[in-house]
Amino acid sequence: SAEHPFGTDVIGRDILARTIYGGQVSLFIGVTAMLVQILVGTAVGLLAGYLGGIVDFLLMRLAEAMLSIPQLFLAL
């Protein structure tokens, strides 16, 4: 119906409202993970760029090693 686009459960609660409410935690975790990645990536990039030399070499090899791991294995 127009009042309940996703319908209701057996006790009459709106499924769309419950889905939106439940998605808040998932969105918070995703946004938090993204912000942490931005901060860590920026710090590593600044450190590698500022210090250069062996530090840059080691940090870039670490980044390449992380990128060589398929994302599917990380998800498992």
Does a structural domain hold residue 62?
yes
Count of structural domains, the chain:
1
Asked whether the whole model's pTM tops 0.75, one would answer: no
Q: What is the pLDDT of residues 17-67, one digit of tens each?
A: 999 998 998 999 999 999 999 999 999 899 899 998 999 999 999 988 888
| Segment (H or E) for 24 | helix 15-51
Rounded Cα gap, residues 24 and 1, in angstroms: 25
**8 belongs to a structural domain:** no
7 in a domain, yes or no?
no
- Is 20 in contact with 13 (CB distance < 8 Å)? no
User: Cα 66 to chain center, whole Å?
Assistant: 16
Residue-range definition of the domain harbouring residue 38: 15-75
